[in-house]
Amino acid sequence: MREQKWQVVLINGDLSEKYRHLGFNNKNDISHVTDKLDLKGVSKEDDWEDNVLTTLLKNNVNLVLVNGEASERLTQHCMRHRILVVERVKSAILKDFAETTGAVPVTYATQLSKHCVGTGVEISIWRDCSGNRRRASMAVNIVADRTALVTVVLTSSVHSKLQTLEDRFWGCAYRLHHTLKDRKLLPGAGKTELLCIHHLQKHIEENGVQTRGKDGASVPQAKQGRAGNPHRADVFQLMADGWMDYISTLLLNSGTCSKVDAWTTINQQLKDLNGGLSVDAIFSRMLLRDDTEDDMMSPDMKHSAGKVYDNMTVKLEAWRKALDLVFLVLLTDTEIITGIDPKQMEGQLNVMVL
State which amino acid sits at residue 344.
Q
71 & 13 share domain? yes
Dihedral (Cα; 30, 34, 40, 44), 10-degree rounding: -10
178 & 198 share domain? no
Dihedral (Cα; 45, 46, 51, 56), 10-degree rounding: 100
The domain in which residue 168 lies consists of 152-183
Kindly report the three-state secondary structure assignment for every residue of 65-96: EECCCECHHHHHHHHHCCCEEECCCCHHHHHH
Exposure letters 114-142 (e unless 16+ CB within 10 A, then b)? eebbbebbebeeeeeeeeeeeeeeeeeeb
Per-residue pLDDT, 2: 61
96: domain CATH number?
3.50.7.10
220 & 337 share domain? yes
In a domain, 244, yes or no: yes
Query: Which among 100, 132, 151 is the end of a domain?
Result: 151
From first to last of its 354 residues, the chain has per-residue pLDDT tens of 566 788 899 999 888 888 787 766 666 666 666 666 555 555 777 888 888 888 889 988 889 999 988 888 888 888 888 888 999 999 999 999 999 998 899 988 888 888 989 888 888 888 877 665 566 777 888 888 888 888 888 888 888 899 999 999 998 888 888 888 888 888 877 788 888 888 888 888 776 544 334 444 444 444 454 555 677 788 888 888 888 888 888 778 877 778 788 888 777 777 777 665 544 554 555 445 544 444 444 454 344 456 778 888 888 888 899 889 888 888 888 777 777 776 766 666 666 666
134 & 166 share domain? no
Per-residue pLDDT, 167: 93
10 & 96 share domain? yes
225 & 120 share domain? no
12 & 135 share domain? yes
Burial of 203 (C-beta count, 10 Å sphere; 0-12/13-18/19+): middle
In a domain, 292, yes or no: no
In a domain, 36, yes or no: no
233 & 87 share domain? no
In a domain, 324, yes or no: yes
In a domain, 286, yes or no: no
Dihedral (Cα; 210, 215, 217, 222), 10-degree rounding: -30
pTM: 0.57
85 & 226 share domain? no
Taking every pair of Cα atoms in the chain, the longest distance, rounded to a whole number of angstroms, is: 117
227 & 317 share domain? yes
Per-residue pLDDT, 25: 67
In a domain, 55, yes or no: yes
72 & 143 share domain? yes
Per-residue pLDDT, 347: 63
132 & 57 share domain? yes
Report the number of distinct structural domains present in the chain. Answer: 3
Per-residue pLDDT, 285: 53
Measured in degrees and rounded to the nearest 5, phi and psi for residue 287 equal: -65, -40
In a domain, 108, yes or no: yes
